[in-house]
Every structure is written in C-alpha cells, then in structure tokens.
A and B are shown apart, each in its own frame.
Chain A
C-alpha cells in the first residue's frame, strides 16, 4: 500500500515560497474578522508600516504567495531498488501553487492551492496530475535544522496530495519501465490513484544562507537592503524564501488518507523527539520506512545527524519489550547521500517469519537503549479535509477521519474523540465522539462559529485514549476557519466609497502585488474588469490557483457588496483621497489570542 510500495518515483530539488507575511502579525491583521489592523489605517500608511516592520520580522510585504518546484525526477524503484537508468529520470517536476495559511498567525495550517502538477512534459514521459485536493502541510518537525533558526528555517514539513485516477490523471509512459509499471499498477481496483508526497527543509530567507539569527546581524543587513528596495517608487520587490526538497510519487490505495501519510505511524518519542515521526509498511518481505521528515541535518552542509546504527524492533503488544530485532539501519542507510537517492525511504529485507511478525507487532526504531520512534497502532487521520473553510451562518460540513490499525483500515466500532485545542492555555476540551463504520471511517459534523474564528480540532482514536496534548508530530488535527458573515457590509449601498473602504482597500493594503494587475483604488479600472473580478472572487472557484484574494478571506458580505458594485453601471465615481473605513462596522471587533508555538516561527 502507498508510496512505500513499489513502483514509485523519486524527485529532488528545491522549492520557493513567496507568501505575503504581513497578515502573520496581530499588529497588521485580525484573523478573526479577516481585516487589516488597526481598522481604518489608510492604505499608504499601512504599507509604510509593513515595510518598516521588515526588520526583523515582516520579511515579504511584496509577496505573491506563489510557490514553485525547481526539481527533477531523481530515480525510480520498480521493486529492484533505486534505478537511475529509467528514461524518466531527469524529467522536470513542475508545480506552481499558492501558499496560504488558514490560520495566518500560526504555522500549522499551511496549504498549497494549485490547479495541476506535472512531472515530465507533454509529448514526452509524463505524469500529469490535475488537482483534486489541496496539498497540505503536515507533521511539522521543529527539530529538523536547529542550526538554522531564521524564521521557519528550523523546521521541515511533509506535503501531500493525491490524485484519483478517474479525475484526469494521465500517464504517458512511452518506453519508461517505471511509468509502465505505475500505469499497470493503477489498473488495480484497490488503487485509487497516485499520491505525491514531498518534504521541504532547510529554508533560507533573503537568499542568504549565512543568516543565523532572527534579529540583528546579517538578518538586519539583508532586511535593511530589502527596505531600501521596497522604498523604490513604483517597484515590485518580492523576497521569496527557498527550501530543499525531496519527494515521492507512488500508489494511493483505498483506505489511505489523501493529503497526509497513512500507513503505520512511528511516532517521535518525547521529550526530545530526536527523530521525527516516520511511516512504515510491510509489503511482502520488505519493511519500508519513510524517514523523509525524520532525521535532522546538523550543519549548513546538510550533513545528516549520525544516530549510530538504528535497530528496527518488533515489540510486545504493550510496546514494553522487544520480541525480535527485525534488522538494522547503519548510518549509510540514512545519511545525506541515501536521503537524496530515495527521498528518505529506507528498506529492510525481512524473512517470511519476520515479515509475518512485523505485520502484527508494534514497531520501534531504537539506537541501543534509546527509543527514537514508537508505533501508535491505532491512529486517526483526516481523510481529505485537513483544513475547512466555513462561512458564519452558512452550512455545516462533515469531516471524516480514517482510523488505521497497523496501517490498515480499522473495522467498525472504534471510538474517535474530538477536542478543541486551546493554545492559550495548552488544553484540550472534549467536544464529542463518534464510532467508526465498517470501513474504519468516523464522521464529525463541523459547524461554523458564531462569528469569525479559527478553531483547531485534535483527535484521538480508541475508547481509552487520553486527552491529547497537541504536537504536530504526534496529534491528528484539522483547522476550521469561519469567515465572518459581514452582513452589515453586504447590506451597504454599493457606492465606490463603500466598496473601496470596506472591501478593496483591505485587499490593496495587504497585497501590494495586486498593483501589478489592477489598481484597486481606481473605480474605472475595477469596474472595467468586473467580469474577471467576479470570476476570481466567486466562492465556487475557491480551490482554483487564481482565486482572489489569494488569502481566501473575503467574506460573504464583502463579496456581495463588491458584486453589487460591479453589476451596477459606474456613475461618477471618484477616487477617494483616503480610506474611509474608520467608521465602519469593523472598528471594535475583538481580537483573538494567537498560538504560542506558532509565534516562535513567526518571530
């Protein structure tokens, strides 16, 4: 099952990130009301403040949110180990997405909106993947690159999406054995499509790998240089970050979550989480472990941490004692060279007896007496919706979680509990529980909040499970962002002053890159592009790469007001001298507390 089966395709390279980060900070944005802060700040003043805050925090006020691969196919495995002779090797891996955090203040809700991803080229070897679900960031590892403490540079994360085979997925194998094998495997009724999983790590900012601190020093030098550029009149000065990347394309089977790893979760062990959560699968006589997100790089040369020889053990049902050592992984199995070769996936050959044992015994990865990874046998994972957007007063939706037992769908009757996680006091409050059906899936109704809010739900599987303590490496979770209805705004007269003051000025302030496309302060231009604007802001196009605003925080009321303006004839509109939101209904809205851990990565 999964990418831990063969055939699979490896890719490596880099990934760029160009988000506007101004909305990461409460001084600039209220994530509950989805408004710039403070209310009524004129666009020009807001932009000046955003630039002034570049040193040390607000590193990309001119961002575009675009994220791209600079990557290529680096190897294949059709069951005989890594092969670089397949003609698909060397083909480009192309991805263009929009990086958006559902919870702007935090770091646990990153997602990539995209229309398609493509490996290879049209007419040649190719895997063409139209988007079915956003790619989600999961299992953030804050211990990955401890030497690189700039912004989120310390962390790595898993990204994943899956593409159903009946949704336009196209393989053009030609004479590539790997692609032929992949196409053949897709014919299996149990195979739902393909999964693409990748890991990003060692993120650098200002294109400067020498920065080592979050303020002062080289960071300040680079930030001040950026401020100088940002102050060049009528210029566009994005400042993308850049990460290393390894990835895998493999099979997506029934019962697997689409947008986060399934299989058997080998959880990082507290207190230090030296090795981050990994995923394992026994297929035939092979135990495959995905260490793509797990082992730290200890220096700027990206040397992998030498943990010594790792022993993979089959444990007693309570996990307390070793039943059998299944095999060992020497440093050469997980060092930098091995990591790049197979994107972090390692394999252990097993005897038939050991394979049988491993299939039903909890697994651990150890070094001597130290336990680095321990399997959580029963685990829930959101099936497809890790991040849900709702509208205040709108419809409820169902969130479904797949419960896995030893990596296979659990049967009926497993209790899954839902909690609300409050990062303010680090507490979990039980909301409700649900039982799995025969397919191992539990379903929860998710209702919009009574006002704009971002809520984090965490889950446990099993009737006896203790209340969770949120840790992205350990805890299944989903985010729900409820956008305020803003009915008062929707009911306003569709004058230019209202449209600009309560809708477009917010957009213009937060996203200076919009100046490249349209002057949102020019009523004639806005009206002239009314049809395009309506298409881009249509809630029905929410998943599209080009949906606007890219931050997905336009409320129903704002949309209604904007569309009313666009639908009406333009009459005598004049460009306002200043913003007019001061007296608006947003002025006294409460601000929600932010998540403490996420703050660390935003500082």
Chain B
C-alpha cells in the first residue's frame, strides 16, 4: 500500500440544491478575448441530480461522473497536441499534469463502481457535446468543444473545472476577477453522502480494481470500502477545483482550475501577504499563443471528403488509435488489469497519429486538423 499524501485536502459537505446561477468573472475575461466558439458564452457544467436512494442510483450517478471525467480528456488532449513541438514548455507541463490527473480520476470512479458491484462503461462523446450539463435556468448548457491551444481552450478548461467559490484574485496588469460559482463537486458530494450510509456488506473489496502499481505512482488506489471511496472523491474534487478558498489541491499543487487560469492569463498564480492571499502574476508563465498548429476546432464536425487522402488517412489513424485505447481501457476497468498497458500504448499511438495529422494541410491550404476523437469500432476492427 502506498502512502498517500493528504495535506491540503478539503472535505465535501452534503448538498442537495444543485442549481448554479452565478456566471464567473472569468467568463467576462474570456469573452473579452473574443471567445466566440460558444455563442451563448462560457458557462459551467451543471448536473441534474436527485439524491440516490439505492446502490443502483449511486452507480448510475457514478456512471455520469465517468462520462464527465472521460469527456474532459479529448478537449484537454486536443489543446496539448496542438502546441508546436519544442514550445510552450510550461503549458505542455500543466496540460500534461491535468490530463494525467483526469485519467486517474476516471480510474478512481471506475474503482468505486466496481467496489459497489457495478460495471463501469466508457462511452466516447462526440464533440461538441454537453457532457450531461443541463445548463442554467433558462439558458444553454455548456458545450464542450475540441479547441486548439489558445485562450478559448483555456477558458473552457476553467469553465469545466470551476470551483464552488472563485477567490477574487487580482490579475496584475490584466483583468480583475471576482464573484463565486458552484461546480460538479457538489454532484460528487451527493454521491459521497449516500455512500457514507452504506453498510460494509455493500462493498466488494478487490473487485476489478486498478492501482498505481504500473502507472500514476502515489495517486491511484484501490477502493475497497467507503473510506477509500471518500478519499477518492476528495481527491477528484480537490484536484479539479482546489480547496474552498484555496487554489491548492489535495497534494498542495495547483488545482486544475488555477492551472488553466495561469495559462489563460499567462501569469503565475503567486502568493501575496495581503488578502485574498494570491494574485495572478506579476511573473508571466511564458505562454506563446502563436506557437500552435493552426488546427480547426471540432474536427469531428469537419467534412474531410474535400481534403487530401493524406488528411483522411491521418484522421483514420487517429480514430483507430483512440478506438483501440477505449476498447483496452474498457477491458482494464472491468477486470483485465493488464489491458491498462495496452490502453497506454494506444494512447502513445494516438499521440503519434495526432502529430502526423497536425502537419497535413487541409483543403483550405492554411489549416490543419488534430484528432477527431471519434470512436469507430467498425472501421478499426474493434470488438465492441
């Protein structure tokens, strides 16, 4: 058993009211950049939930959570892949860490489902999509897009990861942020509260668990009962949003929301002695928005029939690798742990295929396309 670091964590209270109405200040900041990818402007993910009354209800909610955790990966990877090689080192590092942690979150939620006797199912979204967001009252849900590296992609990441309360950290020399918000963390809180009521007999120790023996040392662990599930949920929420009123996550690193914020503002989130304790900058992070491939957004919506055979072939290679990764991962989270190594290998294949695709001009002669992240079992010869 590994020693898991627990400092800096936050506990999660039980919440039943999941209506979220306050738009975060960064939305205005993002819109000031001309973020036009979402005509309704940036919002945050809101999930419809009724407190569960049975294990089946909880598993269903966890299945939704799996969809969200999995669904964040393609947009984050699309942004990361589209950075020109050898540039934007800070961005590559931060996006890489976020992607790694989202993978861990995905596995942790699958571990909880397995521990409850369920069968996790990975369903690949087709982008743009909502990841289950119901939207604000009277408004549109947050549409998640595949966006190349740029302010819009980072603002979208902030929207996905936005914490319950966004501290009013000043942006030195840029914009001023204020206001508060709520997140899917509360969705997890509902699940957590219900899981706490379950008897020990509801849990099946050792059932199809994925641990950190091979990958993600120190952060991925088996769920064998409520204590483990609670720890997993704490870790997931903390790493995404950070502790309440604190940008640090479960392991005293920056939570995802703030990592995206650093990229968005191109400012290091810096501790200051006066309230509210942090500010954006003044040290720049070192972002070069121009050092990215001219990748189109949402390539899954693009008609490649007018593009070159090479571009079509590159997309097919990306989709094949992505499909193979999902298939292997599905096996890994349902009892064939060795398939995790196959999934990781497929992910490297996807990376290589993406690098090739991003260097092939489209028919317009000025843009390229990253991977569409389309699950294509028939075309790829997959079994499921």
User: Is the pair A235, B271 in contact by a Cβ cutoff of 8 Å?
Assistant: no
CB contact between B252 and one of A13, A92, A207, A232 (< 8 Å): that residue? A92
Specify which chain B residues have a CB less than 8 angstroms from the CB of A228 in the assembled complex: 338
User: Which of B2, B212, B252 has the most chain A CB atoms inside 10 A of its CB?
Assistant: B252
> Which residues 164-212 of B sit at the A interface, judged by CB distance below 8 A?
211-212
User: Is the pair B345, A242 in contact by a Cβ cutoff of 8 Å?
Assistant: no
With A90-B8, A237-B338, A518-B352 known, 17 other A-B pairs at CB within 8 A are: A62-B341, A70-B5, A70-B218, A121-B252, A124-B248, A125-B271, A207-B211, A236-B341, A236-B342, A238-B214, A238-B341, A239-B214, A240-B214, A240-B217, A515-B348, A516-B344, A532-B85
User: Is the pair A123, B217 in contact by a Cβ cutoff of 8 Å?
Assistant: no
User: Is the pair A123, B268 in contact by a Cβ cutoff of 8 Å?
Assistant: yes
Chain A binding surface SS class: loop
User: Is the pair B269, A123 in contact by a Cβ cutoff of 8 Å?
Assistant: yes
Specify which chain B residues have a CB less than 8 angstroms from the CB of A232 in the assembled complex: 338-339, 341-342
List 26 contacting pairs A-B, 8 Å CB cutoff, sorted by A.
A14-B3, A14-B217, A16-B218, A70-B3, A72-B5, A90-B8, A90-B252, A121-B253, A121-B254, A122-B283, A123-B268, A123-B269, A123-B271, A123-B283, A174-B273, A229-B341, A232-B338, A232-B339, A232-B341, A235-B328, A236-B344, A237-B214, A238-B215, A242-B2, A516-B348, A518-B352
Task: Please report A residues at the B interface, Cβ cutoff 8 Å.
Answer: 13-14, 16, 62, 68, 70, 72, 90-92, 121-125, 174-175, 206-207, 228-229, 232-240, 242, 515-518, 532
> Which residues 319-378 of B sit at the A interface, judged by CB distance below 8 A?
328, 338-339, 341-342, 344-346, 348, 352
**Count of residues in B whose CB is under 8 Å from the partner chain:** 35
Specify which chain A residues have a CB less than 8 angstroms from the CB of B346 in the assembled complex: 234
User: Is the pair A123, B278 in contact by a Cβ cutoff of 8 Å?
Assistant: yes
Chain B binding surface SS class: loop
Q: Which residue of A lies closest to B339 (CB)?
A: A232
User: Is the pair B271, A174 in contact by a Cβ cutoff of 8 Å?
Assistant: yes
Bound: A130/B254 CA distance, A? 21
Bound: A236/B217 CA distance, A? 16
Specify which chain A residues have a CB less than 8 angstroms from the CB of B339 in the assembled complex: 232, 235
Contact with A along B1-45 (1 / 0, CB 8 A): 011010110000000000000000000000000000000000000
User: Is the pair B217, A68 in contact by a Cβ cutoff of 8 Å?
Assistant: yes
User: Is the pair A235, B338 in contact by a Cβ cutoff of 8 Å?
Assistant: yes
Specify which chain A residues have a CB less than 8 angstroms from the CB of B252 in the assembled complex: 72, 90-92, 121
Specify which chain A residues have a CB less than 8 angstroms from the CB of B338 in the assembled complex: 228-229, 232, 235, 237
Contact with A along B258-296 (1 / 0, CB 8 A): 000000000011110100001000010000000000000
B119 contacts partner chain A, Cβ-Cβ < 8 Å: no
Shortest distance in angstroms between A245's beta carbon and chain B's nearest beta carbon? 10
User: Is the pair A14, B2 in contact by a Cβ cutoff of 8 Å?
Assistant: yes
B251 contacts partner chain A, Cβ-Cβ < 8 Å: yes
Shortest distance in angstroms between A43's beta carbon and chain B's nearest beta carbon? 17
> Which residues 201-258 of B sit at the A interface, judged by CB distance below 8 A?
211-215, 217-218, 248, 251-254
Bound: A235/B346 CA distance, A? 8
User: Is the pair A237, B251 in contact by a Cβ cutoff of 8 Å?
Assistant: no
Bound: A229/B271 CA distance, A? 46
Specify which chain A residues have a CB less than 8 angstroms from the CB of B7 in the assembled complex: 72, 90
Specify which chain A residues have a CB less than 8 angstroms from the CB of B253 in the assembled complex: 92, 121
Specify which chain B residues have a CB less than 8 angstroms from the CB of A233 in the assembled complex: 342
Query: Contacts A123-B270, A123-B278 hold; do A235 and B217 have CB atoms under 8 A apart?
Result: no
Specify which chain A residues have a CB less than 8 angstroms from the CB of B328 in the assembled complex: 235
Specify which chain B residues have a CB less than 8 angstroms from the CB of A91 in the assembled complex: 252
Specify which chain B residues have a CB less than 8 angstroms from the CB of A240 in the assembled complex: 213-214, 217
Bound: A122/B278 CA distance, A? 12
Specify which chain A residues have a CB less than 8 angstroms from the CB of B218 in the assembled complex: 14, 16, 70
Bound: A175/B341 CA distance, A? 44
Specify which chain A residues have a CB less than 8 angstroms from the CB of B342 in the assembled complex: 232-236
Bound: A404/B355 CA distance, A? 54
Bound: A232/B213 CA distance, A? 17
Shortest distance in angstroms between B259's beta carbon and chain A's nearest beta carbon? 10
Shortest distance in angstroms between B172's beta carbon and chain A's nearest beta carbon? 12
Bound: A108/B269 CA distance, A? 43
User: Is the pair B3, A517 in contact by a Cβ cutoff of 8 Å?
Assistant: no
Q: Which residue of A lies closest to B7 (CB)?
A: A90
Q: Which residue of A lies closest to B269 (CB)?
A: A123
CB contact between B345 and one of A13, A72, A92, A516 (< 8 Å): that residue? A516
Q: Which residue of B lies closest to A12 (CB)?
A: B3
Specify which chain B residues have a CB less than 8 angstroms from the CB of A68 in the assembled complex: 217
Shortest distance in angstroms between A538's beta carbon and chain B's nearest beta carbon? 14
Shortest distance in angstroms between A321's beta carbon and chain B's nearest beta carbon? 46
Specify which chain A residues have a CB less than 8 angstroms from the CB of B345 in the assembled complex: 234-236, 515-516
User: Which of A14, A92, A235 has the most chain B CB atoms inside 10 A of its CB?
Assistant: A235
Specify which chain B residues have a CB less than 8 angstroms from the CB of A123 in the assembled complex: 254, 268-271, 278, 283
User: Is the pair B213, A13 in contact by a Cβ cutoff of 8 Å?
Assistant: no
User: Is the pair A70, B2 in contact by a Cβ cutoff of 8 Å?
Assistant: yes
Q: Which residue of B lies closest to A66 (CB)?
A: B217
> Which residues 24-80 of B sit at the A interface, judged by CB distance below 8 A?
none
Bound: A235/B328 CA distance, A? 10
Bound: A284/B17 CA distance, A? 63
Shortest distance in angstroms between B331's beta carbon and chain A's nearest beta carbon? 10
Shortest distance in angstroms between A380's beta carbon and chain B's nearest beta carbon? 38
User: Is the pair A175, B273 in contact by a Cβ cutoff of 8 Å?
Assistant: yes
